[in-house]
Amino acid sequence: MSLTNEVDRHAETAPSRVCPAPESVTSIREFTHEFMIAQGLTKVFGNPGSNELPFLKGMPAEVQYVLGLHEGVVVGMADGFAQASGKPALVNLHAASGTGNAMGALTNAVYSQTPLVITAGQQVRETIGQESFLSNVDAALLTRPLTSWSMEPACAADVPRAFGQAVWEATTGTKGPVYLSVPYDDWDQPSSPNDRHLLARSVTEARSLSQEQLDRLVRRLDRADRVALVLGSAVDTVNASDDARILAERLNADVWVAPSPYRLPFPNRHGQFRGVLPAAIAGVSERLKDYDLVLVLGAPVFRYHQHSPGQYLADGVELVQITEETGAATRAPFGEAIVADVAGALAALSGNVAARPNSRSGSWRESTPAPQAQDGIFHPAKVFELLRENAPGNTAYVVESTSTNEAFWDQMDLRLPSSYFWPASGGLGFGMPAAVGVQMAMPQRPVIAVIGDGSANYGITALWTAAHYNVPVTFIILKNGTYGALRWFADLLQVEDAPGMDVDGIDFAALARGYGVTATTVASEKAFIDSLSRAASSGRPHLIEVATSLTTPQ
């Protein structure tokens, strides 16, 4: 829960009132720029329109404007940057039309709880009611229910305070994107000397397990014969993967990852790692049926996808969930929920549970040999095997190839935090722009984007940004000419004759070169390895196109 004064989390609509005229030394724009720097918001991801230009005027040298050619790409880049940096990202969109273009990408940021401060330009204040061209009518309602907080200030004098609230709403409690609409004539208005207090203000929160809760959980874990840890993506987000591994090893527990992960909270080749739980009721129940106690950390219970009804848990299985997200605790249909700091809970539990004999501690699984490429067509497993063997061990992967996940988890060896990023809501178009944002946030690590050819078309303009700002991502396009995951779902739903399944005939290497990115099409393992090596040593963005066989998600 936020330690700011508790606000209505729904859209705030400006009431009809007149704000007092303040005394001033700077404009609202100048003060806001100063506040941005003080808060570390030194990158603005945007695609500008006329309403946004007054905010962008006189941008300080400390602030970099990162241009995306489509608003969905803009939000995807900011999403990747905020996740990888652990800091909020500032997004600037164009009124209602630009915001509308970004809504699909916004769904991913909602479910990954990415702190995005989204600002949008508004028409001149006195003309909004007339619905003049480019007015954002009912702006505070536009992004609901995706944003947890949205506002258009009632008057210019409230813009600095509202901007501050947007930052703290995005980063406090259940984190996520927020939305602030500002009429463009507000930026030139004078700021109040009282606004200076915002520069020194801070918002902190503390919500840890009580000693009683900790003692009770430790007793239950120590008593249980068979313990399963189900780890959510938030474990990686809060940098608690090491404590999760320690807890698992002390308990000799099997470790599962909660369904549809967007981050990797546990080394996927560790001897205690059992895999990713299926996104189906019956599948989860089947895999957890043999445990006495299931401890879920940093995940909802559970985010199902395909409808496979059944019993939530087998008889005799107890489940305890620890989450920082109040909604994830309150909407779960079963189990005991505790709303608490996940990192603190893992640290406390790992230091207090009794250590059990564990022959799997520190052991690492071997991978299954991948099929060889035939006639220039690679099985996706071979691509991932080649990446595992030839890419640096500290590579961060941004993945948006939904039909190849089984092969990915079987072949890859990811041991470091922040090594895996995925669209949290399944909204396509995340992967390519997010990879640009992740690389900007982690310039010390190589970043490889693994993108299906169906997904690539949704965020292809991210290549221009990568080239323009010299962001050295290696983009690997797995090209099978069809929507593989959709074909699997069509079979599942018995809609085998569904149209619109194929996306053949696209030359991604030519597209990349058109955007200024070096690109190659490879048809042999040697060509792939050579291209990967050249990309890694160049310090520039590269795209590698690989023809692959069709596989299905599991």
**What are 136-177's pLDDT values in tens digits?**
889 999 999 999 999 999 999 999 999 999 999 999 888 999
Neighbours of 163 (CB within 10 A): 25
Q: Check whether residue 171 and residue 39 sit in a common domain.
A: yes
Q: Check whether residue 403 and residue 527 sit in a common domain.
A: yes
Q: Which of these three, 170, 200, 230, is where a domain ends? A: 200
Rounded to 5, what percent of the chain is helix, strand, coil? 40, 20, 45
Q: Check whether residue 220 and residue 186 sit in a common domain.
A: no
Positive or negative, the Cα torsion across 136, 138, 140, 145?
A: negative
Pairwise CA distance, residues 189 & 28, whole Å:
6
Locus of tokens 């801070």:
202
Query: Residue 246 maps to which CATH number?
Result: 3.40.50.1220
- Percent of the chain exceeding pLDDT 70 equals 91
Q: Which of these three, 331, 350, 369, is where a domain ends? A: 350
Burial label, 243 (beta-carbon count in 10 A; 0-12, 13-18, 19+): buried
Range of the domain at 310: 211-350
Q: Which of these three, 174, 200, 226, is where a domain ends? A: 200
Pairwise CA distance, residues 228 & 224, whole Å:
10
The residues that are catalytic are 49-50, 52, 71, 94, 305, 426
Positive or negative, the Cα torsion across 26, 27, 29, 35?
A: positive
Q: Check whether residue 411 and residue 537 sit in a common domain.
A: yes
373 is a domain residue: no
Length of the chain, please? 554
Q: Check whether residue 35 and residue 173 sit in a common domain.
A: yes
46 is a domain residue: yes
Q: Check whether residue 171 and residue 73 sit in a common domain.
A: yes
17 is a domain residue: no
| Total structural domains within the chain | 3
pTM of the model: 0.90
Q: Check whether residue 245 and residue 385 sit in a common domain.
A: no
Q: Check whether residue 332 and residue 404 sit in a common domain.
A: no
455 is a domain residue: yes
Top-confidence residue, 371 or 55: 55
Does residue 36 surpass a pLDDT of 90?
Answer: yes
- Percent of the chain exceeding pLDDT 90 equals 77
The 3-state DSSP class for residue 230 equals strand
Query: Residue 158 maps to which CATH number?
Result: 3.40.50.970
* Cα Dmax for the chain: 74
The 3-state DSSP class for residue 216 equals helix
Contact 287, 302 (CB under 8 A): no
Q: Check whether residue 42 and residue 100 sit in a common domain.
A: yes
Does residue 277 surpass a pLDDT of 80?
Answer: yes
